[in-house]
Amino acid sequence: MPTTPFPAPRSLTTSPGGAPAGAPVTTSVNSALPDQGYLLRTGPDGVRIEHRDPAGLRYALATLDQLRASPDFAATGYDIADHPDFERRAFLLDVSRDRVPTRRTLARWVEILALARFNQLELYTEHTYAFRDHRQVWQDASPLTAEDLRWLDGRCAAAGIDLVVNQNTFGHMERFLAHDAYVHRAENPDGFERGGAHRPASTLEPTARNADFAHGLLTEITAQVRARRLNIGADEPFELGTGRSRERVAELGLGTVYFDYVTRVMRPWLDAGYTVQFWADVFAHHPELLDRVPPGAIPVIWQYDAPRHAADAVAADSAEVAAWRQRGADLDLLQDGFATHCKRLGDAGVPHWVAPGAGNWNSVIGRLDNAVENMLDAAEAGLASGACGYLLTSWGDNGMWDPPSVAFGPAVVGGAVSWCLETNRDLDPAPVLDEHVLLDAAGLAGRVLGQLGGVYRLFGVPLLNGSPIARALFPDFSLPLPELPTPAALDTAAATLAACRRDLADCDPAAGDGDVVVRELVHAIGLAEFAVDVLRARTEAGGSDADAIDPRAARRLLRRLDPLLAEQRACWLLRSRPGGLDDSLARIAPLRHQLLQAAQR
């Protein structure tokens, strides 16, 4: 049977008679092809490649390598024409929510991203770069160093990938503002209220002095990479207009104050010829700003719940939905996916990107089908509006308890649909993972990742931005579970997890990190099974919190918890640096406290 390379090309036809062993390969430049495009023909006379540019040649040769690996190569002639839908296809890896990858893990990501034809990698940093003058901020985080970035930049360049700085410069600055030396920069030095809870200061006051401070951070990091583009973040400045900028926002409007600051941060880089990305969550809600976007600036529209999944959660009209509304979430727009914001920016002629999510965070074992629908929605809306880039994000909310391999499936899907949506829309990631990423001849490891990514739906409790598994392990009183799963739903989830555990025992991935993948997934299943039993105990007790469960059940759960945490520590250190590990493990403390209270009743 003829081979279909990954990603599936835009056009592929076959004919009898392939290229014999040792057949010559000829290449030529064809300026009529689209950027990054190529033509590849194989037959009895050899292999002929036409390409528009070096990237097109790279992708043609990668396709040729996959065809050669097939036993039918000598018997089948291939005629392939291919080029990407999106010029820029990027992947964001959060390295600031406690988990900072080792160099080996970063090199593994470069391999996977190159396979999936991403041409940009962004490491999202807040405090996890070793800034020369800010040691107290990063000293316990095992940060990336200048040498790390120069090394990774070289690895990326060799794979046809740009390493792009992604440093937040406005919101999400709590790791800086927690220190006395920086708190004077905060919009609210004493913190703020959100979702019924008091939270530490996280947003810089929008001043020229703080824009200069942000410029210093960006200058230091960008000096280590060769790309002439960067991402300044500027998302979720929750406190803006509630503290020191209150009077200015009342006078000028929130959108104007926001964009004045963002433009001030961008301006030196734009003047130097950089392309500058910034998150569009504030900007997109202020149409009066559309004509103020300077050339070279790129708003990035992000959305992480797929329309159908968002609609299911909103339809429940639960306490959780009310909590999201209290936090300021536009749930009606959420159900519309990317369409509305993309159309608004496209109609205004503003260059923009779309940014779906990998669904790995707040889940432990992933939310794969939500991620796939989210990625497809982003590609469809982005193509319709003329978006010039696609950024798949892998965030690390709540300490990034999910193992890195949970994001491997979304990465191959995201790369494929941003390369060519039409031919990769129905891609099944499992065989791609088994054949190209994990090298599992048994064909089980990829299937397990797919099955684990669907477990969250089995609970019958639709949520926004998370799974019942994570909500059970990391309870948040400001974002309650809308209801507890039924005993039958818990039984189904437990049976699926047990089946995945059995399949992992029989898989045999030959990839360099194959043993690590198996170990971390077995452990992730253990965490998920523990969460199922926490939910089961709560259901049996008829209580909403773990402190309401039967004392004997609480004691049994507590005996299981420490071994799970020991294995979480061990698996973490196989992929990630030690800094941040204790912070991440501390996320389980509220559940432990609830179980202790229940056990002592």
Mean pLDDT of 249-277: 98
Provide the strand spans (E) within 367-523: 389-394
Region label for 263, one of left (φ > 0), alpha (ψ between -120 and 50) or beta (otherwise): alpha
pLDDT value at 256 more than 90: yes
Q: Which amino acid is at 560?
A: R
pLDDT tens string 46-55:
999 999 999 9
Among the listed residues 396, 398, 386, the one whose alpha carbon sits nearest the alpha carbon of residue 358: 396
Q: Which residues of 193-205 are buried (b: 16+ CB within 10 A; e: fewer)?
A: ebeeeeeebbbbb
Share of the chain above pLDDT 90, in %: 90
Place of tokens 């970063």: 106
Most confident of 16-25, 66-75, 489-498: 489-498
pTM: 0.97
pLDDT value at 106 more than 90: yes
Tokens of 438: 């994990």
Residues 6+ apart with CB under 8 A from 143: 100, 127, 128, 129, 130, 579
| β-bridge pairing 297-302 and 275-279 | parallel
Tokens of 22: 């040792």
Q: Secondary structure of the chain: what % helix, strand, coil (to 5)?
A: 50, 15, 35
What is the structure's pLDDT at 36?
98
pLDDT tens string 374-418:
999 999 999 999 999 999 999 999 999 999 999 999 999 999 999
Mean pLDDT of 279-306: 95
What is the structure's pLDDT at 487?
96
| Residue 13 DSSP symbol | E
What is the structure's pLDDT at 197?
84
What is the structure's pLDDT at 224?
98
What is the structure's pLDDT at 546?
76
- 1 pLDDT band (50/70/90 cuts)? low
What is the structure's pLDDT at 479?
86
pLDDT tens string 54-93:
999 999 999 999 999 999 999 999 999 999 999 999 999 9
pLDDT tens string 547-569:
889 999 999 999 999 999 999 99
Domains located in the chain, CATH noted: 11-82 (3.30.379.10), 88-303+338-427 (3.20.20.80), 446-599 (1.20.120.670)
What is the structure's pLDDT at 542?
86
Provide φ and ψ at 222, rounded to 5°. Answer: -65, -20
pLDDT tens string 150-190:
999 999 999 999 999 999 999 999 999 999 999 999 999 99
For 298, the 3-state DSSP assignment is strand
Mean pLDDT of 520-533: 98
Which carries the bigger pLDDT value, residue 442 or residue 320? 442
Mean pLDDT of 504-528: 98
What is the structure's pLDDT at 27?
98
Place of tokens 């420490």: 562
What is the structure's pLDDT at 317?
73
Q: For the chain, give the mean pLDDT.
A: 96
